[in-house]
Structure 1
C-alpha cells in the first residue's frame, strides 16, 4: 500500500559535490560529511546508477534484479545514509546515468544501439550505449529514479541524458529504432517529460548537459536542446569544465588556463537563453552549473586546479546572478575549503 505523496522539500540554494558510490561508504564518506560540516557546501550528488550501468544499492526494481545490475552492491545502507544526511540538513541528489549503459546493452542486446550490420555499436572508447529511442530503456531508468525518490532522495539528476557525441559520424554508422520519426531533441524531451510525470512531487528533477549547450543554437547532434530540456526539469546543470572546451572557444586560446573567462561567457549565454524562454514559459529550469575541481593532465597546456581556480569559477557565475553550483572530481577529492 502506498503512503501519502511526499511533498517536495523547499528549494535549496545548492552548493554540492559529486560523491561516487565508493566514496559514499566507510571513512571516505565520513571525510566528505566533515567537509560539508566545515564549509558552506550543503549537498551531495550520489551515484546510484553509474557510468558502467551498475546500480549501486540493493534495488527492488524487477529488471535491475533480472539482469543483475545490482549484483555488486556498493552502498549497502543507502536508506540510513539518507536519513543521516537529512538529520544534518544535507540535500541529497541521486545521479542516474541514463543512455550510456554498457551493462544493459550487454544483458539485453535488443536495447543497444546497433550498427548497420545489426551488431552492437560502440563509441570511440569501446563503450556500448542503449538506444534512446527505446521506451523500455526510458521506463527502466524511471523505475530506478522513482525508487530513489521513495528511498528519500530530495532530487533525481539524469546524466548522459543524450545521444553519443560526434552525432553526424554516429548517424552514418548506426540505425536507431525510430519508427515514430522523432528528432533527437524530441526523444530527450520525451524521456524527461515522462520521468517528471511518473515521479510527480516526490522529488525535484535535474539534467546534466554539455557545457556548450549554453551557447549553441542547436542540439549539437546529441539531442540536448537547452530550451526543450529546461521546460521539463527543475534544474539544468551545464558541465562547464574549462578543460573540456577546445582552443578558441569564446575567443580563449587555452580554456583550461582561464576558468573565470570560460564560466563568465558560458553563464552569460545561459542567462540570455533563459531570459528568452521566460517570455513564453512561466516555468523553466534554474541554472545550476558543474565546475571543475580536478586537474586535466591530458590537456595541453593545463594547470593544476586548486581552491583558487574553483573560487574563480564560482565568482564568475555569481557576477551573473548564478549562485548555485556543483563540483566535479571523479575521485571525490575536493580542494574547496
Structure 2
C-alpha cells in the first residue's frame, strides 16, 4: 500500500513537471514570434507598390496579439557631438549593416577630416531600417532589420563620429497603402499613386497630423537610440508640375502645413538638432514653383539646418536631353549652359544667393549643403565630367569661399573619392 501511494505521488510530480516544461516552451515560442527577428520577411519595393490586394491569413493557428512597447522619448540633453561642424558622407543602411564596409568608413574618418555620417532611419521604400517599436510601423511590418542600430551607433560614437539619422518623410510607397486615411488621395478618393520606374510613388498626407506623428515617433525613437541629429528628407508635397492629386480640402497654404509639421517636431524634440534636405533649385527660385510647399524662406524659418542638394548635374543644361531645357541655368546673373562642367562656380554662386536671401529675410538658419559625390554619366557626352579629387575639392572650396563651413557628400552607392579629403588634423 505504501509503495502504491509513493508511486502515485511520483506520478503526480512527473505530470506537474511535464506540464510546466510544456508551458515554458510555448511561452518561449510565443516570445520569439512576437520579436519578429531574423525570420521577418518584407516585400520588395515593387511588391509593396503594387500590393493593393487584401492580405490573406494562412490556415494556421493565429499568432498572439502583439502589444508594442511605447516609443522611447528622446534624451533630455543635447548630444555631445551635436555641435560638431560636419564634414560628412551619406551611408546607406546596407553599408551600416555590413561590418567590413562600416569599419572601412570608420577608418576613413579616423585618418581624414570626415567626422560625420548620415544613415537612413526611414528609407525611400517607407521602411524603418532596424527593428522598431513604433506601433504603426510594427502593426504593418514597415521595417526591415538592415543594421543593428545600437551597435552601429556605439561603434561610431566610440570613434567620435557624429551620427545623423535620415528620415524620409512624406514620400512613402508603403504606409499610405496600408493606412489610406494617412495618404494623399486622387480626386476619386483612392490613394494617390504614380508610376516611378518599376515601382510606384505614394505620399503620406502632409496636412494630416496623424501622419506627422508617425514620422515624429520614428524620429524620437531614433534619438532615443543615440542619433545626434535628425535629417528630414522629402519634407514636402509632390510636385504639382508632375503629379495631380486632390487638394480641394486644403485650408492653408502648403508651406504652412510644412511649417506646422516642423513646429510640432521641434516641440516634441526640443533638444534635438533638426535639419531638412531641399532641392538646390529652391535656393534660386523666389516662388514655390513646383507647388511642393517650400520656398527657401518658409522651409528655413524654424528648422535648425537646411541642406540644399547643390549637385551641378541637377541644374538644367542647354541640351534637348531630359536633363536640359535648351538654355541652361542662370545663377547669380551667370548663365551656365553646362553646369556639371563647372562645380566650383555653380556651388559658390548658389550659396552666395542663398546667403543673401536668408540675410535679407532675417532668418538665422545654418546651411550645410549636399555636394555631388558621383559622376553623372547618364547625361549626354560633353555635358558631364568625371567627378574626381579635383571636382570634390573644388566644391568644398566653394562652400568655404561662400562663407559656410559644413558639407555632406552624396553618392548612392557610397563609392566616394577618398583622396579628396584632408588628413585629420
Calculate the TM-score normalised by the size of structure 1.
0.92
Q: Quote the Cα distance in structure 2 between the aligned partners of 1:117 and 1:292.
A: 40
Q: Which runs of 5+ in 2 are unaligned?
A: 1-71, 318-327, 420-425
Structure 1 residue 218 displacement after superposition: 1.5
- Contact kept, 8 Å, 2:74 with 2:221, in 1: the verdict is no
Q: What SS does the aligned partner of 1:236 have?
A: strand
Structure 1 residue 111 displacement after superposition: 2.0
Q: Quote the Cα distance in structure 2 between the aligned partners of 1:188 and 1:110.
A: 19
**C-alpha RMSD of the superposition:** 1.7
Picking from 392, 401, 404, the partner of 1:319 is 401
Alignment of 1:160-309 (within 5 A): 160-165=234-239, 167-170=240-243, 173-176=244-247, 178-179=249-250, 181-201=251-271, 203-220=272-289, 221-247=291-317, 248-250=328-330, 251-278=335-362, 281=363, 284-300=364-380, 301-309=383-391
The corresponding residue for 1:142 is: 216
Structure 1 residue 336 displacement after superposition: 3.2
Q: Quote the Cα distance in structure 1 between the aligned partners of 2:141 and 2:292.
A: 29
Task: Return closer, same or farther for 1:304/1:123 CA change in 2, 3 Å cut-off.
Answer: farther
Alignment of 1:73-152 (within 5 A): 73-75=145-147, 77-123=148-194, 125=196, 126-152=200-226
Q: What SS does the aligned partner of 1:295 have?
A: coil
- Contact kept, 8 Å, 2:88 with 2:114, in 1: the verdict is yes
Q: What SS does the aligned partner of 1:57 have?
A: coil
How many aligned positions are there? 326
Task: Return closer, same or farther for 1:215/1:2 CA change in 2, 3 Å cut-off.
Answer: closer
Alignment of 1:55-70 (within 5 A): 55-70=128-143
Structure 1 residue 295 displacement after superposition: 1.4
Q: What SS does the aligned partner of 1:217 have?
A: coil
Q: What SS does the aligned partner of 2:286 have?
A: coil
Residue deviations 1:142-197, cap 9 Å, x none?
Answer: 000011111111100000001112x2453xx2113735x11111111111111111
Q: Quote the Cα distance in structure 2 between the aligned partners of 1:91 and 1:2.
A: 20
Structure 1 residue 109 displacement after superposition: 2.1
Residue deviations 1:76-120, cap 9 Å, x none?
Answer: x21122122112111110000001100112211222222112223
Q: Quote the Cα distance in structure 2 between the aligned partners of 1:137 and 1:3.
A: 19
Structure 1 residue 311 displacement after superposition: 1.0
Residue deviations 1:119-144, cap 9 Å, x none?
Answer: 23223513112221111111000000
Q: Quote the Cα distance in structure 1 between the aligned partners of 2:73 and 2:128.
A: 24
Q: Quote the Cα distance in structure 2 between the aligned partners of 1:43 and 1:304.
A: 25
- Contact kept, 8 Å, 1:235 with 1:288, in 2: the verdict is yes
Task: Return closer, same or farther for 1:232/1:306 CA change in 2, 3 Å cut-off.
Answer: same
Q: Which has the larger radius of gyration?
A: 2
Calculate the TM-score normalised by the size of structure 2.
0.74
Structure 1 residue 4 displacement after superposition: 6.7
Residue deviations 1:245-301, cap 9 Å, x none?
Answer: 1021121001111111110111011110121133xx5xx220000000011122222
Q: What SS does the aligned partner of 2:193 have?
A: coil
Q: Quote the Cα distance in structure 1 between the aligned partners of 2:302 and 2:353.
A: 20
Residue deviations 1:209-266, cap 9 Å, x none?
Answer: 0101112111221111222221211111000011111021121001111111110111
1:155 and 2:229 are equivalent in the alignment: yes
Q: Which runs of 5+ in 1 are unaligned?
A: none
Q: Quote the Cα distance in structure 2 between the aligned partners of 1:130 and 1:3.
A: 24
Q: Quote the Cα distance in structure 2 between the aligned partners of 1:144 and 1:161.
A: 14
- Contact kept, 8 Å, 2:126 with 2:175, in 1: the verdict is yes
